[in-house]
């Protein structure tokens, strides 16, 4: 297993911002990318945190990721808007798409936002949290355009992406309830994290290029490639299909098939259909009390083992509290890959040395 460091979140944020400034991003874009990636690590989703930087840098190098783009409104149907992301940073495209959707939902009670041709939008919970911070409930269907990694239920090779689904419910006196996961048994990035750490993944999540079960994360990173499996047998596969169609087709984007396959693993493009709802538009004066009564009720179930009963979103909140105090853990392989990306962006050895001193 490789060594790991604990890096203070504010220092990591400065480093990420500096990397993208060197690469050519505006100050605002660099900040939004740093906000998102560091927040993903703080939430415990290292698969979607700063470890994505080398892949983004490769995508930029290969001409896929476009810097300093803003999504444009291609159709305005009142409560439904469609935005084109122009292959720009998803951290900008999704942020601005949510801003526009929130404005519509504030006026109309409900809004739907189709966002397509955005570079990787990362941890979807971040966009749901943006909606919840404004007081809204939201649902997000996402596909990963043209980058197959997951085998269909009863299939044996990769046909679609890890297509996340996400939903959020703001609570009055607590952090929002947040469901946010890939429809594959594990997110692709978690195989990268395991691979970088020299660890195996648990059984049941991966098959090799022959369709045989394996626990070796390398099958997702070196040819001949294997596949991830959907979570929950036919149920996860069915939800993944709906994320592909509602996220990829309904949004005005593309789904995964022969004509849309992308040649590079670093060129990750997402489409997302988001529904944003003002909870106050319902005639539900006891909504919060009913929600709390349920959560309290489930938590009273006798614990079956050592792990506590949690509600969706609690895991992320616990990570935030711990990592805010203790720093963000990063394995040395990921750290070296990020430093190599910083050099590629044009950071001098002197400036890099100052940031490298942060890893301990
Ligand atoms: P995961 O398996 O870690 O599941 C996370 C979800 O489970 C959260 O809602 C969390 O609160 C909940 N949870 C965790 N423990 C719980 C417990 N004990 N009780 C109740 N709920 C609990 O997530 P994942 O599938 O590894 O996905 C990781 C991240 O990757 C997500 O943020 C997702 O949005 C992102 N992702 C993005 C893309 C993309 O293309 N942009 C693709 C796939 C995944």
- Model pLDDT, residue 264: 84
Distance CA 78, CA 103 (A): 11
Tell me the pLDDT of the chain averaged across its residues.
Answer: 96
Q: Does ligand 1 come within 6 angstroms of the Cβ of 187?
A: yes
Q: Does ligand 1 come within 6 angstroms of the Cβ of 120?
A: yes
- Model pLDDT, residue 3: 75
pLDDT one-digit tens code per residue, 93-133: 999 999 999 999 999 999 999 999 999 999 999 999 999 99
Mean pLDDT of 39-62: 97
Owner of token pair 């946010």: 180
- Ligand 1 centre to CA of 220 (Å) is 19
- Ligand 1 centre to CA of 13 (Å) is 22
Instruction: Work out which ligand 1 atom sits closest to the CA atom of 308.
Output: 18
Of the pLDDT bands very low, low, confident and very high (cuts 50, 70, 90), residue 1 is low
Residue 122 Rama label (left phi>0; alpha psi -120 to 50; beta): left
Structure tokens that stand for 142 in this block: 């996402």
For a pocket test of ligand 1, which of 180, 193, 309 has the largest count of ligand atoms closer than 8 A to its C-beta?
180
Nearest CA to 127 out of 163, 101, 157, 151 is that of 101
List, as one string, the DSSP characters of 299-343: HTSPPSSSSPP--TTHHHHHHHHHHHHH-EEEEHHHHHHHHHHHH
Q: Quick check: 265 pLDDT over 90? A: no
For the chain, strand residue ranges (E) read 4-7, 72-76, 80-84, 110-119, 137-144, 165-169, 177-181, 206-207, 213-214, 227-228, 269-277, 328-331
- Model pLDDT, residue 262: 87
Q: Quick check: 2 pLDDT over 80? A: no
Residue 19 Rama label (left phi>0; alpha psi -120 to 50; beta): alpha
Per the CB < 8 A criterion, the answer to whether 136 and 279 are in contact is yes
Per the CB < 8 A criterion, the answer to whether 358 and 335 are in contact is no
pLDDT one-digit tens code per residue, 145-165: 888 999 999 999 999 999 999
Per the CB < 8 A criterion, the answer to whether 201 and 184 are in contact is no
Q: Does ligand 1 come within 6 angstroms of the Cβ of 168?
A: no
Q: Interhelix angle for 90-108 vs 27-42, to 10°? A: 90
- Ligand 1 centre to CA of 165 (Å) is 9
HSE-CB for 344 with a 13 A CA cutoff: 16
Residues ≥6 apart with Cβ < 8 Å to 357: none
Per the CB < 8 A criterion, the answer to whether 103 and 276 are in contact is no
Q: Quick check: 338 pLDDT over 70? A: yes
Q: Does ligand 1 come within 6 angstroms of the Cβ of 118?
A: no
Q: Quick check: 167 pLDDT over 80? A: yes
Q: Is pLDDT larger for residue 2 or for residue 62?
A: 62
Name which residue sits closest to atom 17 of ligand 1, judged by CA: 310
For a pocket test of ligand 1, which of 41, 183, 187 has the largest count of ligand atoms closer than 8 A to its C-beta?
187
Of the pLDDT bands very low, low, confident and very high (cuts 50, 70, 90), residue 360 is low
What are the counts of helices (DSSP H) followed by strands (DSSP E) for the chain?
11, 12
Q: Does ligand 1 come within 6 angstroms of the Cβ of 104?
A: no
């Amino acid at each position: 297993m490789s060594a790991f460091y604990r890096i203070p979140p504010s220092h990591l944020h400065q480093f990420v911002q500096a990397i993208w400034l060197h690469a050519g991003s505006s100050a605002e874009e660099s900040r939004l990318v740093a906000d998102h990636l560091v927040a993903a690590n703080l939430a415990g989703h290292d698969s979607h945190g700063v470890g994505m930087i080398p892949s983004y840098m490769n995508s930029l190098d290969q001409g896929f990721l476009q810097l300093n783009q803003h999504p444009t409104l291609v159709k305005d149907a009142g409560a439904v808007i469609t935005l084109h992301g122009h292959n720009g940073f998803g951290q900008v495209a999704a942020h601005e798409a949510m801003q526009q959707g929130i404005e519509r939902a504030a006026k109309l009670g409900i809004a739907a936002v189709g966002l397509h041709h955005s570079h990787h939008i990362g941890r979807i919970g971040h966009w749901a949290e943006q909606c919840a911070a404004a007081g809204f409930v939201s649902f997000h269907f996402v596909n990963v355009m043209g980058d197959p990694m997951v085998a269909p239920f009863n299939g044996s090779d990769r046909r679609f992406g890890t297509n996340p689904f996400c939903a959020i419910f703001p609570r009055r006196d607590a952090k929002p309830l947040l469901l946010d996961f890939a429809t594959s048994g594990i997110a692709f990035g978690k195989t990268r994290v395991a691979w970088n750490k020299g660890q195996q993944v648990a059984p049941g999540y991966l098959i090799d290029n022959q369709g045989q079960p394996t626990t070796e994360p390398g099958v997702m990173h070196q040819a001949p490639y294997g596949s991830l499996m959907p979570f929950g047998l036919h149920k996860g596969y069915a939800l993944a299909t709906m994320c592909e169609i509602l996220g990829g087709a309904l949004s005005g984007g593309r789904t995964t098939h022969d004509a849309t396959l992308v040649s590079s693993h670093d060129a990750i493009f997402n489409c997302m259909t988001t529904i944003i709802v003002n909870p106050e538009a319902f005639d539900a004066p006891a909504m919060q009390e009913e929600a709390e009564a349920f959560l309290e009720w489930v938590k009273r179930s006798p614990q079956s083992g050592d792990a506590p009963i949690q509600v969706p979103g609690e895991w992320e909140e616990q990570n935030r509290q711990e990592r805010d105090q203790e720093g963000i853990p990063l394995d040395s392989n990921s750290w070296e890959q990020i430093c190599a990306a910083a050099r590629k962006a044009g950071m001098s050895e002197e400036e890099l040395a100052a940031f490298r001193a942060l890893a301990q």
